[in-house]
Structure 1
Amino acid sequence: MILGLTLFALVLLAALWLVLQPLRGGMPTDPDAPERHRLTAERDRLYAELSHLTDESRRPDLERRAALILRALDALPAAPPPRERGRRTRAAALAGLAVAALVTVAGAVTFVPRWQLASLGADEVQDVRDVLALPGLRRKAETTGEGAAYLAWGRAAFDSARYAQAVTAYGNALKLDPRQPEALRRLGILLLTRGEQTGQTGAQPTPEDARQAFLLIRTAAQLAPKEPESQLLLGFALARFGQDADALTALERYRTLDPKGRDADDLITSLHARQNESDPGLRVYAANCASCHGPNGGGGLGPNLRVATLSREALENVIVNGKGAMPASPNLKPEELNALLDVLERWQKEGE
């Protein structure tokens, strides 16, 4: 950044020097100008007198005097040509101005945007770049008709919240490849949240739109189960349809596939809170077990409880007395312990 600013300043200074340098000298001076002017005037006077001479006896004297004037003029140093020098000065000044203009334009399209983007976060910078790239990506897609070009256009439009363009781009991509996972799931989520995109908070899709949206998202997850976004959007869609347990499973897969991803955190918290309100066993699990075994029993620091094969009695023994690194929980009330055991047994039956 500092190097860029330094280079920009140096180029600007060079351009200013080019503009001002020709103008500093001004017009060239002629120290012999007064004498040159006097001799020229005398020469012109003698020529005029000779041209209108009526007394021929005076001609030799006038011609002699004119010859002396011409010799005196020839003896003076040559006068600088003011018109030619002026043209050169103007040309140099105009050239300098052109350079300065080019530098300004170059700065406008290179340095200045970087200064503006420097105050933005990484996601905001990417949004700005996506918006700026949209016209070019659209032209390329419409010109080439290639699936990859439509995907690039759709991706930039989706990421910069230009959803109408995203629908068009992804729709064209699906015409070329009906099994394209990214286009399927993103069109599905756009269809499912169409009301929210237009500012209609709380608006619900029609049953047909909801069914079609879920079909698109689920198909994408089946085609690309190891792509984090497939599981993320599947979890979101399942949560919208009230299938909280399945939604949590998909969101946990998303976290496994993208450990640094934070897009599901709020939804997972909300789903657990919703589950805990109606299931006392989940409340006990969230308070005592989730930090090690994961919010949905899928494992973390501790093992995956969904693939365990322990009996109810064995589970109770481990919970109450602890085992290995797992601490004991002897203070659980009987009803809390039974509710927790019900959840663990249910998870073992469901599996992963």
Structure 2
Amino acid sequence: MILSVLLLVLIVGAALLLMLSPLRQGTPDDPDAPERTRLLTERDRLYTELAALHEDDPKRPDLERRAALTLRGLDALPPAVQGNARRTGRLALIGVGVMALLTVAGALTFVPRWQLAALNADESRNVQAVLELPGLRRAAERTDTDAAYMAWGKAAFDSGQYDQAVTAYGNALKQNPRQPEALRRLGILLLTRGEQTGQKISDADAERATLLIRTAAQLAPREAESQLLLGFALARYGQDDAALTALESYRTLDPKGRDADELITAIRARQNDSDPALRVYAASCASCHGAAGGGGIGPSLRASRLTRESLKAVTLQGRGAMPAFPNLSAAELTGLLDLMEKWQEEGQ
């Protein structure tokens, strides 16, 4: 904050120094002034002498020749720089006004952006999105196009201005109802509105919101956010297996994404309490094959075509980079094999 104030003071000081300098200087300097003054003095002197001579005076031709040379010298000089105190003052005041406007603009744009250097990447993007919101909103309302509404909605959503995001994405879908980003983000905002307002969402509204998210995932199954928000929506209604499948897809599409970690952990905890096979799987297999067998570092167990005997052999003896698990009890092994065969039947 202190640095920002100092920067503004320096900008204002520099602006005033530059803009008021014409007032201090008055008429601008004429680099040819000495020579111009000498020639004008010489011209006036010669004219005075010529005026005092008779027409037939023998000195007259020489004086006329010298006067002509003096006039030629004056003509050869560039035009004198003419100063105008009133005009100079007016220009200076206009300049001060312009610099004041630029200073205000700098306070609202340059200084905040300069301060972004102290923020991390996500914080910086959020602050920039907030700064851009008013302009994006005006552009959307003026042009009434889906692209402008999408730009406004994205900036609002990314900066946490969710009321604006709902309005923007809703208008974008009126223009074009097949926009995955608008569908899934509007859906998740409607689905979680109760958490934001403290009011319980109705079952009908919850179903509509979930449908928006499902539709987005169908339109753009390879977009990580589609699978992430689908996973959140399914988990809210206790569809843990389907939620894990979606969240695994999210992790595959965005290996660096960490937004699903807590939810995956919570779902695993719920499942492990009720299913011994899932407890064994979570402890020994999930880190490589995914929370619900959809694959990760290791291959997908849901896409596997191995027989039960082959699955048993690989589990107990290992294969390639996969370690062996020879210490599983008979009950643990049976439950694990039953689980993998169930996933094979369900598929992806």
Above 0.5 in TM-score? Answer: yes
Gapped regions of structure 1 (runs ≥ 5): 26-83
Q: Aligned partners of 2:102, 2:151: CA distance in 1, in Å?
A: 32
Picking from 276, 281, 284, the partner of 2:272 is 276
How far residue 249 of structure 1 moved from its aligned partner, in angstroms, is: 0.7
Counterpart in 2 of 1:105? 104
Q: Aligned partners of 1:102, 1:280: CA distance in 2, in Å?
A: 70
Counterpart in 1 of 2:336? 340
Q: Aligned partners of 1:205, 1:101: CA distance in 2, in Å?
A: 50
Q: Is the alpha carbon distance of 1:101 and 1:259 closer, same or farther for their aligned partners in structure 2, counting shifts above 3 Å? A: same
Q: Aligned partners of 1:14, 1:151: CA distance in 2, in Å?
A: 40
Amino acid in the other structure paired with 2:17: L
User: Which protein is bigger by CA-based radius of gyration?
Assistant: 1
Instruction: Indicate whether 1:255 and 2:256 are aligned.
Output: no
Coordinate RMSD, CA, aligned: 3.1
Alignment of 1:151-300 (within 5 A): 151-198=150-197, 200=198, 204-300=200-296
TM-score (norm 2): 0.72
How far residue 148 of structure 1 moved from its aligned partner, in angstroms, is: 0.9
Gapped regions of structure 2 (runs ≥ 5): 1-5, 27-82
Q: Tell whether the 8 Å contact from 2:191 to 2:206 is kept in structure 1 after alignment.
A: yes
Q: Aligned partners of 1:258, 1:318: CA distance in 2, in Å?
A: 29
Once the two structures are overlaid, the 10-residue window that deviates more, 95-104 or 288-297, is 95-104
Counterpart in 2 of 1:72? none
Secondary structure of the residue aligned to 1:256 is: helix
Q: Is the alpha carbon distance of 1:130 and 1:346 closer, same or farther for their aligned partners in structure 2, counting shifts above 3 Å? A: same
How far residue 291 of structure 1 moved from its aligned partner, in angstroms, is: 2.1
Aligned length: 286
Counterpart in 2 of 1:77? none
Secondary structure of the residue aligned to 1:261 is: coil
Amino acid in the other structure paired with 1:175: K
Q: Aligned partners of 1:213, 1:184: CA distance in 2, in Å?
A: 9
Secondary structure of the residue aligned to 2:302 is: helix
Instruction: Indicate whether 1:131 and 2:127 are aligned.
Output: no
Which whole-Å deviations, capped at 9, do the CAs of 1:288-307 have from their partners, x for residues lacking one? 11222222222223222112
Counterpart in 1 of 2:316? 320
Q: Is the alpha carbon distance of 1:145 and 1:339 closer, same or farther for their aligned partners in structure 2, counting shifts above 3 Å? A: same
Q: Aligned partners of 1:157, 1:96: CA distance in 2, in Å?
A: 37
Amino acid in the other structure paired with 2:274: S
Counterpart in 2 of 1:16? 17
Q: Tell whether the 8 Å contact from 1:22 to 1:92 is kept in structure 2 after alignment.
A: no
Aligned structure 1 segments of 4 or more residues deviating by more than 4 angstroms: 8-15, 17-25, 84-100
Secondary structure of the residue aligned to 1:308 is: coil
How far residue 9 of structure 1 moved from its aligned partner, in angstroms, is: 5.9
Q: Tell whether the 8 Å contact from 1:19 to 1:95 is kept in structure 2 after alignment.
A: no
Once the two structures are overlaid, the 10-residue window that deviates more, 96-105 or 269-278, is 96-105
Q: Tell whether the 8 Å contact from 1:15 to 1:99 is kept in structure 2 after alignment.
A: no
Q: Aligned partners of 1:151, 1:88: CA distance in 2, in Å?
A: 50
Q: Aligned partners of 2:103, 2:142: CA distance in 1, in Å?
A: 33
Alignment of 1:54-93 (within 5 A): none
How far residue 105 of structure 1 moved from its aligned partner, in angstroms, is: 3.0
Q: Is the alpha carbon distance of 1:242 and 1:10 closer, same or farther for their aligned partners in structure 2, counting shifts above 3 Å? A: closer
